[in-house]
Amino acid sequence: MKTKKPASTPCTAAIKKPLWAPWRIRYVQDAHKPAGCFLCAMLQAPRARDRENLLLVRGKTSLVCLNRYPYNGGHLMIAPRRHVAELAALRPAEHAELMQLATRMVAVLRRVMKPQGFNIGLNLGHAAGAGLRDHLHMHVVPRWVGDVNFMPVFADIKVIPQALEELYDQLAAELHSTARSHRR
Ligand SMILES: [Zn+2]
Q: List the catalytic residue out of 75, 95, 126, 137.
A: 137
Residue 67: pLDDT band (50, 70, 90) is: very high
Residue-wise pLDDT tens digits, 146-174: 776 444 444 444 445 467 888 999 999 99
CA of 103 to the centre of ligand 1 (A): 23
pLDDT given for residue 132 in this prediction: 78
Burial class (CB in 10 A: 0-12, 13-18, 19+), 119: middle
CA of 43 to the centre of ligand 1 (A): 9
Question: Would residue 43 count as lying in a domain?
Answer: yes
pLDDT given for residue 160 in this prediction: 53
The conformational region for residue 17 under phi > 0 = left, psi -120 to 50 = alpha, else beta, is beta
Average pLDDT over residues 111-136: 87
Domain that holds residue 122: 22-178
Catalytic, 83? Answer no
Average pLDDT over residues 107-119: 94
Candidates 19, 184, 177; CA nearest to 107 is 177
Question: Would residue 45 count as lying in a domain?
Answer: yes
Candidates 71, 23, 38, 54; CA nearest to 137 is 38
Number of structural domains found in the chain: 1
CA of 40 to the centre of ligand 1 (A): 4
- DSSP notation for 97-116: HHHHHHHHHHHHHHHHH--S
Question: Would residue 60 count as lying in a domain?
Answer: yes
**Mean of the per-residue pLDDT values for the chain?**
79
Question: Would residue 138 count as lying in a domain?
Answer: yes
Beta-strand pair 62-66/76-80: antiparallel
Question: Would residue 12 count as lying in a domain?
Answer: no
Question: Where residue 152 sits, what CATH number does that domain have?
Answer: 3.30.428.10
